[in-house]
Amino acid sequence: MKRIFLYIVFAAAVLIAPDGKAQSLRLTLGDAVRLANDSSLNAFRYQNLYASGYWQWRTFKAQRLPGLSLSITPANYLRYIAQRYDSEENVDVFRSQRSYGASAGLTATQNVDFLGGSLYLQSDLEYLRNFGDMKGNQYSSVPVRIGYRQDLIGYNPFRWERKIEPLKYEKVKKEFLYNMETVSEDVVKLFFSLALAQTEMRLAKENLSSADTLYVIGERRFRIASISQSDLLTLRLDRVNAENSVENARIGVKRAMFELASYLGLDRETHIDAVLPGTPVAFDVPLSEALIHARANSPELMGERQTVLEAERDVNKAKVQSMFNATFNASVGFNQFGTTLGRAYSHPLRQDMVSVSIDIPLLDWGVRKGKLNMARNTLNVAKIASRQKELALEQDVTMTVNEFSSHQRLVGSAVEALDIADRAYAQTVKRFIIGKADLNTLTLSHNRQQDASRNYINSLQNYWLSYYKIRKLTLYDFERKTTLSRSFDNEEGVR
């Protein structure tokens, strides 16, 4: 997040010329990955997804702190006819009543997680004014009242929230890191698509230049009857095909460049020169260590553990609700009333309240038992699904680690093959010029040289794709021996 501004300044400085025209940009693979993680639309999307989970976690933390609320009823006017007893006549009569009231209350609450109850502290004040024959003002106050309410035999949501919410937030963090590594994978594919297209363009131009040269040489050799007319026509056809290949390669470069620029959030007319990375430094990825980090950091497995916990919570809730429920509520405080505000707070009287209520279901035709059985079945399904996900992850990690080791070796082989192919083609061209190699040998050598160039780029692409896939599956950097969440957690601590 902190680097976004730097990259915007960088893009503005490098890409925009004084006359407002787009300029060329040399882009390494590392630059492309960093720019994608900071400025691409996918990165912004994943950052907002994380922010949503982050504020859900902050809300949970805030709910663990004491809460303070103020409730006010500034006006409550009543005009109605009520039944009253007339003691002189010894009869009930209807009388018109009018009154005006107002009230205010201040309440502080604190949830007690391990018990599942709530501790509360209250202070109330009420005002009542009667109209009619018995005019007057009255005040009623509760200066302070402290109490506690709790389900004695019941479902405790606070205890389950303390188990589930931290796991949910940890999953959100791991999902963010996982998604950012997915962005890295995506930009690697686009980067090497451009690199391969530009290589095809370079090879096509080299092929055209070579075809022009060989055609000129072929014409000279044809005049001295050193080659046949068929060979000369073949050289001419190679030159025409080379011209067409240059045009097709130019179209491929434009398409790949447009896709990469769009993904990185750059101007679509930006000319990007993809700088191929060098031969990567080999390092070991122990399979056992990769599996340990994958099991500990996989957001998918965390999601399955969350599902299992929620299913266990539902089983507990259904089991508790299948029995009777007892609720306890007790408070102690003071209360007073008077015709003035001062008298309402003068010499308050003791106010106590203790209540225990019991709710016993007698007949429900198996509804509670059915809910409990459904919750247990859901829990069993969740556990099986969690185990299946874990096995699938282990298989994916094992295959990726093995592929990464193979790709490391293949990169070295591709470098050697490219060097051999370049030297062989250069020697074949020299031999063709002096007439010691025929056209078929030259064509075969040239095709091998181009295939070696393509294989080298493909081997680099496969290496970096497997590199970032290992990082994504394990959320661990085996090259630097550190977890990807370490720097993330440090940034969170600074907030």
Model pLDDT for residues 420-432, shown as the tens digit of each residue: 988 998 888 888 7
The whole-chain average pLDDT of the chain stands at 84
pLDDT of res. 492 = 54
Cβ atoms of residues 400 and 407 within 8 Å:
no
- Which pLDDT does position 369 carry in this prediction? 84
Q: In sequence order, what are the residues at sequence separation of 6 or more whose Cβ sits closer than 8 angstroms to the Cβ of residue 146?
A: 119, 120, 121, 122, 331, 332, 333
Q: Is pLDDT at 16 greater than 50 in this prediction?
A: no
Q: With a cut of 60, say whether residue 250 has pLDDT above it.
A: yes
pLDDT number for residue 132: 67
Q: List the beta strands (DSSP E) in 43-131.
A: 67-86, 91-112, 117-131
**With 60 as the cut, is the pLDDT of residue 353 above it?**
yes
Residue 271 and residue 277: Cα distance in Å, rounded? 19
For residue 250, the Cα-to-chain-centroid distance in whole angstroms is: 37
Tell me what the mean pLDDT of segment 235-262 comes to: 88
Question: Where is average pLDDT lowest: 45-54, 224-233, 309-318?
Answer: 224-233
- Structure tokens belonging to residue 59: 């809300």
Q: Is the dihedral of CA 247, 253, 255, 257 positive or negative?
A: negative
**Partner residues linked to 444 by β-bridges:** none
What is the tens place of the pLDDT at every residue in 158-168?
A: 888 889 999 99
16 vs 322, higher pLDDT: 322
Check if the beta carbon of residue 22 is closer than 8 Å to that of residue 16: yes
Confidence of residue 215 (pLDDT cuts 50, 70, 90): confident
pLDDT tens digits along 443-495 = 788 888 888 988 999 999 999 999 999 999 999 999 888 888 876 666 554 34
For residue 422, which of 433, 414, 412, 410 has the smallest C-alpha distance? Answer: 414
Range 353-377 average pLDDT = 81
Read off the pLDDT band of 12 (50, 70, 90).
very low
- How many Cβ atoms sit within 10 Å of the Cβ of residue 177? 20
The answer to whether residue 401 scores a pLDDT higher than 50 is yes
Distance CA 394, CA 401 (A): 11
Q: Which residue has the higher pLDDT, 378 or 230?
A: 378
Structure tokens at 115: 């018990």
The predicted-structure confidence for 67-111, as pLDDT tens digits, reads as follows 889 999 999 888 878 787 877 778 888 877 888 999 999 999 988
Between 267 and 105, where is the model more confident?
A: 105
How crowded is residue 62: how many other Cβ atoms within 10 Å of its Cβ?
9
Residue with tokens 């300044």: 9
Beta bridge partners of 80: 97
Which residues neighbour 309 within 8 Å (Cβ) at sequence distance 6 or greater? 160, 163, 164, 167
Over the stretch 192-202, which tens digit does the pLDDT of each residue have? 999 999 988 98
Q: Read off the pLDDT of residues 55-74 as tens digits, 9 standing for 90 and up.
A: 999 988 888 888 889 999 99
In 224-366, where does DSSP find H-type helix?
Answer: 229-264, 287-297, 299-321, 341-344
pLDDT over 90 at 191, yes or no: yes
pLDDT for the residue 265: 86
- What is the Cα–Cα distance from 319 to 369, expressed in whole angstroms? 8
Q: Which residue has the higher pLDDT, 114 or 331?
A: 331
Q: Which pLDDT band holds residue 7 (cuts at 50, 70, 90)?
A: very low
What percent of the chain has pLDDT above 70?
91
